[in-house]
Chains A and B, each alone.
Chain A
Amino acid sequence: MNKLTWLYFPARLAWRQLVFDRSKLVAAIFGVLFACVLVFMQLGFKDSLYASAASAPVKLSGDLFLMHRQSEAMWRPIQFKRSELMRVLGNPAVAEAYPLYLGLAPFKNIQTQVKRTLMVYGFDPDSLIFNVEEIKNKRHELRFKDTVLFDEYSRPEFGPMRQLLEASRNVTEINDYKVNIVGLFHLGVSFAADGNVVASDLNFMRIFPKRNLSEIDMGVIRLYPGASIQQIKAELRNQLNEFVNIFSYEELLKYEKDYWANTAPIGFIFGFGTVMGWVVGLVIVYQILFTDIANHRNEFATLKAMGYEHGYFIRLVFASAFFLAVLGFIPGYVLSLGLYHLAETQMYMPMPMLWSKMITVFLFILSMCIMAGLLAIRKLKDANPADMF
């Protein structure tokens, strides 16, 4: 047989057999579709989790970052001495060093009075720690007493802040302390915090009366242009006490992502969900291919008697698996697209449908179907032409 017919004929027979039994084909497609949607959603949530986990650090503007060695992640930091941060100024390549204060606190919804926890960032407004224009522009207002900026990407449970501000209803309580909301900015929610607020370091201390300026959560260091970040990092490593970690920008992002992926069970849960989707889909496709072979046993045995080789049927089973993968993937993709959109608009989670994700999931589904095919071809041995007479 030449190359074209080698694959084309068994694939054509596989296709004809698939479309002949419509109801079974529909059931099979639903099986693959189910697995496809499950995998798409799990991967989507996982990526969204990582993306949102890094939404705060991604906007920080600095070359090197200090955190206490015991800090698992930015959302639950351990404090260390401000003087430890200031020691880095001894290095001639360091231009600036600023403390960042972090704290979770209940925020009172202006309309409903219901309190919900959000993240409060405190820093010197002139330090321009956040690379967000809206925060930079409001640095003057932030220096007034009891002022904060509110993240408009926060969950809607905090209240429709834009309308409230336009109606001049801008007074609320954070941590039972009265503050004025003087503007909005855009950062994004994460699994750790449903919303964000930024304040000056002095106002931060007013909101959290038990905290003081010399106990900081994070240090942001800027170097003079032209300095080698890795080299200065090594120098500072020797200079500073062991209880602080030094991260470059990329390392900080990775540290945050790894926390959610590995330390927190959430990364595991989504990984597990992905694998379960694969296994469920595998079992469904395997069952379908298996019963298909069993139902066509006599037909296959007849073809074998006519001189068809065993390899023809293996190609036929894999062609069926491939068709099921494609036929299930297409509606699965469309449905997932809708669900992603729903998650973005209703749950405020960043869930873009990327090409890379589409290809990943397709390969995932394809590998699932091929695995099912591998398991099912054992059944082909039952097709023995000698039993046909």
Chain B
Amino acid sequence: MSTVIDVEHLDFSFGSGALTQPVLKDITLSIRKGEIVLITGPSGSGKTTFLTIIGGLRQAFHGSVKVLDQQFVNSSEQVKVKARQQIGYIFQQHNLLKSLTALQNVSMTLEMNDTLTEQQRLERSAQMLTAVGLGDRLHYKPGQLSGGQLQRVSIARALVGRPKIVLADEPTASLDKQSGYEAVSILKQLAQESQTTILLVTHDYRILDVADRVVELEDGVIKNV
């Protein structure tokens, strides 16, 4: 199986000069296609920072981060914007657009894709929402949906573009046990069908069993793989 994410000797720190605060120290990690990897660790261990670097949202300067064969270290914004379009994101908060319906929210992912017609976009979005069990809630706005439903909409939004990688940051943090587990199971099931790699940051131990591999970070160092 091919390697999708390949990180070698990544160092990252916030601040500069005397105030430099190292966050990630000499991280080396490679993730293969279709793998589901959980990153756990206490707060402040650098998990989220690691995720934002993989996602091309933060610029790193030392080491090597190759995502989908693109080097992210010292890369231009252009390269990262391009790569981001092949990555699905799920946030701790659902971060859906309040003014749009569930369908329109999911469809936002596809609006960057020129090869589709508006009809195809809406159809694919509706299919994806049906797949996460919200086929009867297509035209509801975020204000009319529950927390678990919202997180499932954001899962649909992340997956509808058929990304090669899904990055999720504490997707269950704002959900109760059952809806959290449901959301992650749906994510796992849909990802496996399309051979999507998932990198999931969490300290919710209730969902550890969905992972192929658990990586534990502590003080910016990988402690246990």
- With A303-B108, A306-B109 as given contacts, are A388 and B114 in contact (CB-CB < 8 Å)? no
Is B169 positioned at the interface, with any CB of A under 8 Å from its CB?
A: yes
A306 to B51 alpha-carbon distance, docked (Å): 14
CB-CB under 8 A from B93, the residues of chain A are 298
B109 in contact with A385 (CB, 8 Å)? no
Is A5 positioned at the interface, with any CB of B under 8 Å from its CB?
A: yes
Q: Which of A332-389 contact B (CB under 8 A)?
A: 385-386, 388-389
Is A309 positioned at the interface, with any CB of B under 8 Å from its CB?
A: yes
A5 in contact with B57 (CB, 8 Å)? no
**Which listed residue (B82, B84, B92, B111) contacts A305, Cβ 8 A?**
B84
Is B58 positioned at the interface, with any CB of A under 8 Å from its CB?
A: yes
Interface stretch among B27-35, B98-106, B145-153, B183-191?
B98-106
**Which listed residue (B55, B99, B109, B157) contacts A16, Cβ 8 A?**
B99
Is A9 positioned at the interface, with any CB of B under 8 Å from its CB?
A: yes
A306 in contact with B84 (CB, 8 Å)? yes
Summed over the interface, the residue pairs from A and B with CB atoms below 8 Å come to a total of 68
Chain A nearest Cβ from B88, distance in angstroms: 8
B100 in contact with A16 (CB, 8 Å)? yes
A34 to B91 alpha-carbon distance, docked (Å): 42
CB-CB under 8 A from A13, the residues of chain B are 97, 100, 108
CB-CB under 8 A from B169, the residues of chain A are 389
Interface size on A, residues (CB 8 A): 25
Q: Which of A280-312 contact B (CB under 8 A)?
A: 296, 298-299, 301-303, 305-309
A389 to B89 alpha-carbon distance, docked (Å): 10
A13 to B109 alpha-carbon distance, docked (Å): 13
- With A5-B111, A298-B93, A303-B108 as given contacts, are A385 and B57 in contact (CB-CB < 8 Å)? yes
B84 in contact with A307 (CB, 8 Å)? yes
Chain A nearest Cβ from B47, distance in angstroms: 9
CB-CB under 8 A from A296, the residues of chain B are 97
B112 in contact with A307 (CB, 8 Å)? yes
- With A2-B114, A16-B99, A21-B99 as given contacts, are A307 and B85 in contact (CB-CB < 8 Å)? yes
Is A1 positioned at the interface, with any CB of B under 8 Å from its CB?
A: yes
A294 to B57 alpha-carbon distance, docked (Å): 20
- With A16-B100, A307-B85 as given contacts, are A388 and B112 in contact (CB-CB < 8 Å)? no
- With A302-B89, A303-B108 as given contacts, are A17 and B48 in contact (CB-CB < 8 Å)? no
A9 to B111 alpha-carbon distance, docked (Å): 7
CB-CB under 8 A from A308, the residues of chain B are 112
CB-CB under 8 A from B114, the residues of chain A are 1-2, 5
Is B52 positioned at the interface, with any CB of A under 8 Å from its CB?
A: yes
CB-CB under 8 A from A302, the residues of chain B are 89, 91, 95, 97
> Closest 5 A-B residue pairs measured CB to CB?
A20-B99, A307-B85, A307-B84, A302-B95, A386-B57
24 residue pairs from A and B, CB less than 8 Å apart: A5-B111, A9-B111, A13-B97, A16-B104, A19-B99, A20-B99, A21-B99, A299-B98, A302-B97, A303-B108, A305-B57, A305-B89, A306-B89, A306-B112, A307-B82, A307-B85, A307-B87, A309-B81, A386-B57, A388-B89, A388-B95, A389-B57, A389-B92, A389-B169
